Amino acid sequence: QVQLVESGGGSVQAGGSLRLSCAASGSFVSLNAMGWYRQAPGKQRELVATITSGGSTNYADSVKGRFAISRDNAKNTVALQMNSLKPEDTAVYYCWAALLYYIYWGKGTLVTVSS
């Protein structure tokens, strides 16, 4: 079992920055890929960014050049630095982690970007 707890959401004006963090705990030695999804009101959940245990990253086209994902394998944490935020980035952001054949999810943290 893996428990994921996000932090760092909030409200910001367009052009601002926020940093999301996610801490994983539970009965495991190491996690496979980790990352972030988001879901805006009335829209489907969207994959934002992924990072492998080796540090390889992948981003949605909509956030490339603005967001940066990182992880600390020793602390079992993953972070998402979000810069140049736009109103369309408003969403609930969910942390996820893969372990063996399972995907675990956090409860989400709300990010609101006002114009």
Cβ atoms of residues 5 and 22 within 8 Å:
yes
* Token pair 């705990």: residue: 25
> Which pLDDT score, from 0 to 100, does residue 28 have?
81
pLDDT in tens, 68-112: 999 999 999 999 999 999 999 999 999 999 998 899 999 999 999
What's the whole-number mean pLDDT along residues 64-71? 98
Mean pLDDT score, 39-47: 95
> Residue 1's pLDDT band (boundaries 50, 70, 90)?
confident
CA 93 to chain centre: 6
pLDDT in tens, 10-31: 999 999 999 999 999 988 888 8
